[in-house]
Structure 1
Amino acid sequence: MDPSDFDANCVVNALVSIDLESGDEGQILYADSDFVSSPRLSPDGKTLVWQTWSHPNMPWDNTEIRIANFDDQGNLTNIKQIQQPKPGSLIQPLFDNWGQLYFIADWSNWWNLYRISTKELETTCKAEAVYPLPADFAPPQWLLGHRNYIPLDDGSILASYTQNSQWQLGLLRCSLSGTWKMQNIADGYGQIENLCGTNEAIFFSAATATQENAIHCLRLEEKTLPADMTIKRMSLSEDSHTETCGFSSATTICFKTANDELAYGNYYPPRNSQYTGLADSLPPLIVSVHGGPTSSAKTSLNLKLQYWTNRGFAVIDVNHRGSSGFGREFRQSLYPNWGLFDLQDIEFAVRHLIREGLVDAEKVVIRGGSAGGYSVMAALSESDLFAAGASYYGISDLEVLTQGTHKFESRYLDQLIGPYPEARDIYISRSPIYNIDKINAPLLLLQGLEDKVVPPDQAEGISKKLKNNGVEVRYIAFEGEGHGFRQLKNQVLALETELSFYQEALRLKP
């Protein structure tokens, strides 16, 4: 296969064994699913476990965990699937030192930790919940290989989980009676992931409301954890003296949306240590829509968000229906309602803040990237609430996306919208490019020319049509950038352009 070929139909995912001495292409062990990930060996090296899923599922929809033994030639034999009480998202399989299998599943509505004993692995492969909790012990699997728990040598388990938009670190211990208890180790994080370690120390990446993501170290003493343990942040820039007094702190809000459903958001008031707003005035509001759309707005420090609050804007970072961190039912409620429920929740979030007297109703703009960029353009076509919008590499034509994206997301829209071409009419009706006549507010489009996930023609097409309709639109293309801007100069240019765009649209003084 040509590595430069991006055709989703040409991509094959398989488990492969590679001879480290010869370095050849290897031998295919398993290729009977559209996707495979997370292979892990048992302590004795005789058993392999891995995760699979097939179109149109994403790894946060319905997946399987498979187990097999190796024969004398190194081939897999006795391949079987662990028992599932009902379909669910099963992720992060891992053996402990005694050969027991752990994994995370959302059978209870929440991504919780499960265990299969060595005896059950030989018979029914039936799992038991370790510690049922209305919390997610994992984020959606956009990136493979993440780890949110680690079994320790003394039989306990260190795990991270999110509840009410806050990530925590907990230690699970099993008593002689078989009952698990949780000891809180640390809380107040906006994210915790990538747990790994040795007998002496556990390392993980984490971020707080005032510190960006960094590696943290948790020391182990005599293979157990003292109650007064400490966590050290290992940052290359930890000796810098960034003033946190100028940071805006998030208030997580829960509000009623359409049909008396609930949605969430993180509200940041404007904050600057050297300036204050005018008396008897309300701040302009920026609505931030996360990508995915199966993702989440986190409370960890985001300097690009603080850029706005430092310049007098309030920000609402919306967790609309379909966001992660609030259970499977909430996450899947966007199926097949993308372009409907997310827009409802965005508008209800804004009106909630207006009713609370927190923002200026006449000065509301909306921004987002990728799936969030789609929501920006769709919101401008469906509501007159927004004075302007900024879309970073957003989707304007849903139908075109079905024919030109990478394999991982090539059937994602089957869930979000409906199967194509059967649901073609819905794809057309929810595509901003086919609702041009309903867009009147100024639109800023920022696009990487090397983007293979949302190609540049998505921005170029709607830009041309809006100009033909006499709508103010600015299109800025970035050479050498893909799906997300990596070069610092381009990130700075994008933010400065966006600020100038809002100042003009809202008639604000620079």
Structure 2
Amino acid sequence: MKTVTPLVSGADFYALPKFSPDGTKLAWQHWNHPNMPWDNSQISLADVTLIESDKKSTLTLSNITTVAKEGCSNGFLSWANKKTLIWVCDISGFINPWKYDVSAKKAGPIFASPVKEDFGGAMWLLCFFPYAIVDETGKVGVFKAYRDGRIVLYRVDIETGDRRQIENPYVVVESMRSVSKSTGTFTFLGTQVDQSEKVIVGSLGATDTASFATATASGAVSKGPDFDSSLVTIPRGISLKVPPKEDLLHVIYYPPHNPLYAGTSIDGEKPPCVVNVHGGPTGMAQQGLSWKIQFWTTRGFAWLDVNYGGSFGYGKQYMNRLWHGWGVVDVEDCITASQLLAKQPHSLIDPNRIVIRGSSSGGLTVLGALSNSSNTEVYAAATSLYGVTDLVGLVKDTHKFESQYMFSLVGGSLEDMKPFEKRSPINYVDKINRPLLILQGDIDRVVPKEQAEVVYESIKKRGGVVEYKLYPGEGHGFRMKETQCDALERELDFYERALGLREGVKL
């Protein structure tokens, strides 16, 4: 007979239980409402006792100790060896590696002084580990960090804190894992600016070098590019200085590029630009190859990813800018970025031909920019893909993990819904006067199609320019190939008409 018995209880969430290599300890992460794990989470440790008899085996925990305490985010824990527990912590203002010495019963940062780079991101997925231990003694690890919107890799001496940057071609690295500690090999999902995501096997050299190869489905290893990189536009991370205080606003710019075309014949003409709003909203746009972006840049459009305040990868203070500010900070940052890129000293895009797009939470930003912002005329057209329109409905009908997330993003409470009403685009639809394309799935349970249809009918009723496409069988995020192709072609056609890019055709 098998039974399930709780080992520990009391917290709202538990994650990543890890036995020490000798099986005598168990460590885990936990946090409570109203926090998300990247806001405030703890790590605890306990002794493990296994009692075996003829009829059953019983595992119990004792001497439970919280080794990473409240007031900061602690996550992605693993054992380097039986005496050393590793995790990442943002108490310094940036996510840096920490360790706990079981013998000394002492926790502390691995580095002698804080490094102003994030060695990890928001823990939306448990699998996105930002490091791997790569030697048998547990003294050496390969850690990733974010710098200027792309990944750098470090070889870290866990005992001394010495770190050395490893040259590597990957701008996006996810899900790092150790393959063989005896040979110093590790694996991750790696993406380059001109090559799509692959399973990569890395082999650490003696100092700060490493070799990388692509793992094939058969288990063999091959090397080399899979696409002509001359066809791909190369991203450029830019940290904009926002007046009057010159606060930094981080964006990624992709210029239009197609070897088959020479570009404009009009002197001084700047390209139209698609401004993209990432989801989350606690997310991050990265610089790895995206075929969706290449679709636009090969057709004469610039592309701008805005890592607005609230995005991870730029430190805790930058991420906390979105606290109680969703629907304002993200909206205004997108508008500011668009305006700054269109004028000196950048002058990269045409200020009269900027469009904005976003899906899910990014759709809320799009609709907010058109209806409830400091300048609703910045964008010549927009697309909302299953965009959030009604925050009141969203906060009342969501799952446990995000059930308190909205209160940190917006403020308010279940008893005071005014902040949610104030930020909900559905209440400002009458102010939208720019062409809008709405793309929606008919079985979306996060943003029901009825919300999209309220926006569509309201704009249509008063004579505004709006188009609506409902995709059968699609939910919150388009999965079918036919849907994805149609959505891209439909969006391109919409912008070409809205911007007058086709002779004799205009919305």
| TM-score past 0.5 threshold | yes
Residue number in structure 2 paired with 1:8: none
> What CA distance in whole angstroms lies between the structure 1 residues aligned with 2:37 and 2:348?
38
Residue number in structure 2 paired with 1:379: 369
Equivalent position to 2:312, from 308, 321, 324: 324
Q: Does 1:141 align with 2:123?
A: yes
Residue number in structure 1 paired with 2:333: 345
Q: Does 1:50 align with 2:28?
A: yes
Equivalent position to 2:136, from 142, 153, 156: 153
Residue number in structure 2 paired with 1:262: 248
Equivalent position to 1:415, from 382, 404, 408: 408
CA contact (8 A) 1:188 1:208 kept: yes
Per-residue Cα deviation, 1:348-399 (whole angstroms, up to 9, x for no partner) = 1111111132211111110011111110110011311111111111111111
Q: Secondary structure at the match of 2:294?
A: helix
Equivalent position to 1:363, from 353, 369, 389: 353
Q: Does 1:437 align with 2:410?
A: no
Query: Percent identity at matched positions?
Result: 35
> What CA distance in whole angstroms lies between the structure 2 residues aligned with 1:61 and 1:454?
25
> What CA distance in whole angstroms lies between the structure 1 residues aligned with 2:364 and 2:125?
22
**Structure 1 residue 406: Cα displacement:** 2.2
CA contact (8 A) 1:290 1:369 kept: yes
Per-residue Cα deviation, 1:29-68 (whole angstroms, up to 9, x for no partner) = 2332222111111111121111111222111111111212
Q: Does 1:271 align with 2:234?
A: no
Equivalent position to 1:308, from 296, 307, 311: 296
> What CA distance in whole angstroms lies between the structure 2 residues aligned with 1:235 and 1:253?
35
Question: For residue 137 of structure 1, what is the amino acid of its counterpart?
Answer: F
CA contact (8 A) 1:190 1:299 kept: yes
Per-residue Cα deviation, 1:212-234 (whole angstroms, up to 9, x for no partner) = 111111135xxx64655311123
> What CA distance in whole angstroms lies between the structure 2 residues aligned with 1:258 and 1:484?
36
Per mean C-alpha deviation after superposition, the further-off stretch among 259-268 and 391-400 is 259-268
Q: Secondary structure at the match of 1:29?
A: coil
**TM-align CA RMSD:** 2.1
**Total equivalences in the alignment:** 478
Query: Structure 1: which 5+ runs fail to align?
Result: 1-21
Per mean C-alpha deviation after superposition, the further-off stretch among 47-56 and 263-272 is 47-56
Equivalent position to 2:12, from 34, 37, 51: 34
Alignment of 1:245-256 (within 5 A): 245-256=230-241
CA contact (8 A) 1:166 1:188 kept: no
Question: For residue 34 of structure 1, what is the amino acid of its counterpart?
Answer: D
Query: Structure 2: which 5+ runs fail to align?
Result: 52-57
Residue number in structure 2 paired with 1:173: 157
Alignment of 1:62-461 (within 5 A): 62-71=40-49, 72=51, 73-84=58-69, 87-121=71-105, 125-130=106-111, 132-151=114-133, 152-154=135-137, 155-173=139-157, 179-196=160-177, 197-199=179-181, 200=183, 201-219=185-203, 225=206, 228-234=209-215, 241-257=226-242, 260=245, 261-279=247-265, 280=267, 281-355=269-343, 356-381=346-371, 382=373, 383-461=376-454
Question: For residue 153 of structure 1, what is the amino acid of its counterpart?
Answer: E
> What CA distance in whole angstroms lies between the structure 1 residues aligned with 2:8 and 2:440?
38
CA contact (8 A) 1:156 1:172 kept: yes
**Structure 1 residue 477: Cα displacement:** 2.2
CA contact (8 A) 2:111 2:162 kept: no
> What CA distance in whole angstroms lies between the structure 2 residues aligned with 1:319 and 1:148?
20
The ranges of structure 1 where at least 4 consecutive aligned residues each deviate by more than 4 angstroms after the TM superposition are 235-241
Per mean C-alpha deviation after superposition, the further-off stretch among 302-311 and 404-413 is 404-413
**Structure 1 residue 182: Cα displacement:** 1.2
Give the alignment's TM-score, normalised by structure 2: 0.89
> What CA distance in whole angstroms lies between the structure 2 residues aligned with 1:476 and 1:68?
54
Q: Secondary structure at the match of 2:129?
A: coil
Distance 1:80 1:179, change over 3 A: closer
Question: For residue 60 of structure 1, what is the amino acid of its counterpart?
Answer: W
> What CA distance in whole angstroms lies between the structure 1 residues aligned with 2:479 and 2:9?
34
CA contact (8 A) 2:174 2:188 kept: yes
**Structure 1 residue 190: Cα displacement:** 2.2
Distance 1:238 1:181, change over 3 A: closer
Q: Secondary structure at the match of 2:455?
A: helix
Distance 1:101 1:268, change over 3 A: same
